[in-house]
């Protein structure tokens, strides 16, 4: 998972967003509400912008992702009362809709705005939030740790695909995380970091 963000494999950000959503629904203590909203919505937003870059992308595909963003907002990803997150995400939805309608605006956006607003600084903020999430998750789970698991997944590329197929059915993941939560493994996670940069 870390390697997906580190390499900037934006096409897999949807899978990461679903994983983060599932895990933080089961163990909300892993991230603060603000961190959770920033990471989940940041991953989905970056993926949508990549889809908008080309005219060949089907509007219906993008609309499905926008619907997901709207549902994340309405179901409380910004439940911390962070009106700024809600406002920025509603502006994002408006931006994407305008990019889909106006090719000249899309061209201007990707030449002038995208590199500044969604470039390296944005990617770094996403990486820092993902690293925070994975570090806390690693403290919750026993051996093998995430580094050992990543090494195993790299050795067998098809194993990553099997893990991705596991995410949509979170029953086993829920059971595992609840078990470790009850055993007190969250006690070693510590306090939330609040100095995360907004993506």
109-168 pLDDT, tens digit per residue, is: 999 999 999 999 999 999 999 999 998 988 887 666 567 666 666 666 665 566 655 555
What residue numbers bound the domain in which 7 lies?
2-188
User: Per-residue pLDDT averaged across 23-36, rounded?
Assistant: 89
> Does any domain span residue 193?
no
> Does any domain span residue 72?
yes
Q: Tell whether the model's pLDDT for residue 170 goes beyond 90.
A: no
Q: Which whole-number Å values give the CA distances from 114 to 46, 91, 187, in the listed order?
A: 10, 15, 40
> Does any domain span residue 196?
no
> Does any domain span residue 41?
yes
Between 184 and 2, name the one with better pLDDT.
2
Structural domains in the chain (count) = 1
pLDDT of residue 133: 93
> Does any domain span residue 194?
no
The whole model's pTM is what?
0.69
Mind listing the pLDDT tens digit for each residue in 39-79?
Answer: 998 999 999 999 888 766 667 788 888 888 777 666 554 45
> Does any domain span residue 195?
no
Give 194's pLDDT tier (boundaries 50, 70, 90). very low
> Does any domain span residue 93?
yes
pLDDT of residue 89: 75
Averaged pLDDT score across all residues of the chain? 78
Whole-angstrom distance, CA of residue 120 vs CA of residue 108: 19
């Amino acid at each position: 998972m870390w390697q997906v963000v580190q390499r900037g494999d934006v096409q897999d950000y949807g899978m990461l967003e679903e994983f983060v959503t599932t895990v933080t629904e089961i163990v909300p203590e892993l991230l603060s509400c603000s961190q959770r909203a920033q990471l989940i919505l940041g991953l989905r937003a970056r993926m949508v912008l990549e889809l908008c870059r080309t005219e060949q992308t089907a509007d219906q595909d993008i609309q499905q992702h926008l619907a997901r963003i709207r549902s994340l907002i309405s179901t409380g990803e910004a439940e911390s009362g962070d009106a700024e997150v809600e406002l920025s995400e509603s502006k994002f939805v408006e931006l994407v809709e305008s990019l889909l309608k106006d090719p000249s605006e899309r061209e201007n956006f990707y030449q002038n705005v995208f590199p500044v607003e969604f470039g390296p600084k944005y990617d770094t903020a996403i990486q820092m939030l993902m690293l925070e999430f994975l570090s806390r998750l690693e403290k919750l789970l026993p051996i093998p740790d995430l580094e050992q698991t990543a090494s195993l997944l790299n050795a067998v590329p098809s194993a990553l695909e099997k893990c991705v197929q596991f995410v949509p059915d979170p029953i086993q993941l829920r059971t595992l995380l609840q078990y470790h939560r009850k055993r007190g493994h969250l006690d070693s996670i510590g306090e939330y970091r609040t100095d995360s940069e907004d993506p």
